[in-house]
Amino acid sequence: MALQDGKVLIVDDDEDVLQAARLYLKQHLAEVHTESSPDTIPSLLANTRYDVILLDMNFTRDVSSGQEGFFWLERILKIDPSAVVILITAFGDVELAVRAIKEGATDFVLKPWQNEKLLATISAGINLGRSRTQLASLKSREKQLSADLDHYFHDFIGVSDNIREVFDTVEKVAKTDANILILGESGTGKELVAREIHRQSGRAGEVFMAVDMGALTETLFESELFGHKKGAFTDAREDRAGRFEMATGGSLFLDEIANLPMTLQAKLLSALETRTVTRIGSNTPVPINVRLISATNMNVHQMVTEDRFRQDLLYRINTVEIRLPALRERAGDIPLLVDHFLILFSRKYNRHRMRVSPSAMARLEKYDWPGNVRELQHVVERAVIMSDSDNLAPVDFLLAAPAPKKEGLVFDDYNLNDVEKTVIRKALSKHQGNVSHAARELGLTRTSLYRRMQKHGL
């Protein structure tokens, strides 16, 4: 808003003051409204949005204490909390004006004023009002976007026993500030659960901030999470708060936390233990207040035993663990999920209500879903886009071919006893139970093979 577009209301019982202000300000502002009685303020504000209100501190009924000014300041801010109120006061009332600023006034001008000073004060007030409006708009937009996003994530659907167990756990832990670790394969909905925990928590009105830890390089880690001061490194052109500071008061979701190298795990642990972060280039710790929710698709407990993840950090982040089942472990939820995604994408792409044929649904239920719910979502979306029919057949769903079986032996782990048992069984099967031939291929005597077969119950 340019100064020439501004609307100003001046309330003062001195007609000379009103006339002088009106004559001068009309040269610079689109509208200058003057009133000698503050009693008209409520009706004026009900019909017009003023960019700045100039308000006298003292009126005829109370010429020196400033109490009328405080009264009308309070009334104005009740009607419009974002109103920009500039007080008009005599030199001897500066202390009153300072007190009024503490109670919500924006600034004050002294009578008699200098025209340039008055105009500069009004201009600053208009700019402040514009900034407040923009900020309110951004917050409203952010809130709406967050609500839309949360509405989408709210549809975490399922009726199977193992998914109901997840729902029950979320309901129990959400109201607390306990740190949560969510475990599950890629595509099972770990961020959905994190958002649901935030939504049900006492921090729901504050920010939910997600960070993909797997995407952070060692050089970016501290800057992204802890922030930096201007000039701390080559590209640090301004002060910047890190994610911990930005999420203070709300929830911080650290996705793929097991991908952090050990050196960075130590830095993260220190921040969590002290509940402070120090920006790069600064020596001043900044207190943080976040609800930490972490997630990984890796076996973090196994990583601890292999010295690839710090046990003390694991203790810090997993006050409560939530394990999300893979979609193949809750195949009974597939029809519900398919129906949900059909409604969602039919609306998104302006398609008529689409249905899935029984044969197509049977195919979807038998599929292994290595990409879990995320893969199902993409498969249904593609079918909605590409199909010429409202009745989706098996051919409409593009599913990945099963992975070819690898030649030779494949082990889920390398426990020596299990490996030995598998190799002996494979050799016996290959030679149709002939112990002599199996022992020869394994490089063992018949006695040694019999002993190992007895050991493994073969």
Q: What is the mean pLDDT of the chain?
A: 85
CB proximity list for 105: less than 8 A, separation 6 or greater: 55, 73, 85, 86, 87, 97
d(CA 5, CA 32): 11
> What's the Rg (C-alpha) of the chain?
34
- For residue 138, is it within any domain? no
Task: Tell me: pLDDT of 276 over 90.
Answer: yes
Residues 118 and 35 in one domain: yes
Confidence of residue 325 (pLDDT cuts 50, 70, 90): very high
Q: What is the pLDDT of residue 419?
A: 76
What's the rounded Cα separation, in Å, for the pair 371 and 328? 10
Q: What distance in Å separates the CA atoms of residue 142 and residue 329, rounded to the nearest whole number? A: 36
224 with 284, same domain? Answer: yes
Which pLDDT score, from 0 to 100, does residue 235 have? 78
**288, 306, 323: which is the final residue of a domain?**
323
Do 127 and 167 lie in one domain? The reply is no
Q: Is there a single domain that holds both residue 104 and residue 89? A: yes
Q: Clarify whether residues 307 and 342 are in a common domain.
A: no
Task: Give the rounded distance of the alpha carbon of 383 from its chain centre.
Answer: 30
**Are 104 and 163 members of one domain?**
no
Residue 141 in any domain: the answer is no
pLDDT value for 97: 73
| Confidence class for position 257, pLDDT limits 50, 70, 90 | very high
Question: So what's the pLDDT on residue 376?
Answer: 95
| Average pLDDT, integer, range 163-169 | 93
Residue 102: band (very low, low, confident or very high) from pLDDT cuts 50, 70, 90? confident
| Same domain assignment for residues 300 and 345 | no
User: 311 and 339, same structural domain?
Assistant: no
Based on the fold, state whether residues 186 and 293 are members of the same structural domain: yes
Please determine, for residue 105, whether its predicted confidence score (pLDDT) is greater than 70.
yes
| DSSP for 217-268, written as a single string | -HHHHHHHHHEE-TTSSTT--S-EE-HHHHTTTSEEEEETGGGS-HHHHHHH
Last residue of some domain: 266, 298, 323?
323
Residue 151: its pLDDT value, please?
A: 47
Q: Which of 28-37, 53-62, 164-173, 202-211 has the lowest mean pLDDT?
A: 53-62
Q: What is the pLDDT of residue 403?
A: 55
Rounded to whole angstroms, the Cα distance separating 424 from 134 reads: 73
The 10 Å Cβ neighbour count of residue 109 is 19
Contact criterion met (CB below 8 Å) for 311 and 347: no
Do 196 and 312 reside in the same domain of the chain? Answer: yes
Domain that holds residue 445: 416-455
Tell me if residue 49 falls in helix, strand or coil. coil
How many structural domains compose the chain? 4
Residues 312 and 332 in one domain: no
Model pLDDT, residue 340: 92
Above 70 in pLDDT, residue 347? Answer: yes
Mean pLDDT is lowest, of 38-47, 139-148, 318-327, for 139-148
**140 domain-assigned:** no
Q: Residue 180: is its pLDDT beyond 90?
A: yes
pLDDT surpasses 70 at 150: no
Q: What is the CATH number of the domain that holds 87?
A: 3.40.50.2300
The answer on 268 and 350 residing in a single domain is: no
For the four alpha carbons of 263, 268, 269 and 270, in that order, the dihedral sign comes to: positive
Q: What is the number of H-type helices and E-type strands within the chain?
A: 18, 16
The pLDDT of residue 432: 63
Model pLDDT for residues 439-448, shown as the tens digit of each residue: 778 878 777 7
Domain boundary among 323, 355, 370: 323
| Cβ neighbours, 10 Å, residue 57 | 27
| Percent of the chain with pLDDT strictly greater than 70 | 88
